[in-house]
Amino acid sequence: MEQKNFTLYSDSAEKTQQLGRALAQVGKQGVVICLQGDLGAGKTTLTQGLAAELHCENASSPTFNLMNVYKGDITVYHFDLYRLEAEDELYDIGFYEYAQEDGDIIIIEWPDKFIDALPEDNLYIEISASQEIQREIKIKLNGQKYQPIYEELKQICQSWQ
């Protein structure tokens, strides 16, 4: 099967939030978004753009809560797996129940910690700092379920070039 992925670059928080807004626009029917990146890479900034587009308030990193719920045009479940030590802890926070919900947006930060526990279908976004300000953002489609969302997002992002 052909690997589906593309790369874009952001040189500001505003551009990273713009990607989040685009994700909200194309993912309104529900999507699982995996956000991988070092501390300070822009995962929360991207999430804040997505939440703002959906009229959700107070989007922040759920590092200490493990999961935040944002109510807006649709519900966004935002998981942060950074502090979890064992896959059993995913049951404790209701990860599997929420991650299977169709019609909601599920954001999973630090997905590489429990790669085998992720839903098979997802948009996997890796953010890395290629320079002090510049961010390289790789977007990969896993599975086929979100193919239309991926294609629409790719088209929007290419229009920014």
Structure tokens at 21: 């807004």
- Adjacent-strand bridge partners of 77: 69, 106
Domain ranges of the chain: 4-159
Residue with tokens 């909601």: 104
User: What's the CA angle centered on 82, arms 6 and 124, to 5 degrees?
Assistant: 15
Rounded (10°) CA dihedral 124, 93, 68, 48: -10
**In whole numbers, what is the pLDDT of the chain averaged over residues?**
89
Per-residue pLDDT of 47-94, as tens digits, reads 999 999 999 977 766 556 788 888 999 999 989 898 899 999 999 888
- Of 95, 129, 97, residue with least CA distance to 113: 95
Q: Is residue 119 predicted with pLDDT exceeding 60? A: yes
Please give the Cα distance from 60 to 1 (Å, whole number): 36
More confident residue, 130 or 45: 45
Query: How far, in Å, CA of 148 to CA of 138, rounded?
Result: 18
pLDDT in tens, 81-90: 988 999 999 9
Provide the greatest CA pair distance for the chain. 43
Q: Enter the pTM of the model.
A: 0.91
Topology of domain 4-159, CATH: Rossmann fold (3.40.50)
Distance from C-alpha of 34 to C-alpha of 113, rounded to nearest angstrom? 11
| C-alpha torsion 22→133→7→125, nearest 10 | -60
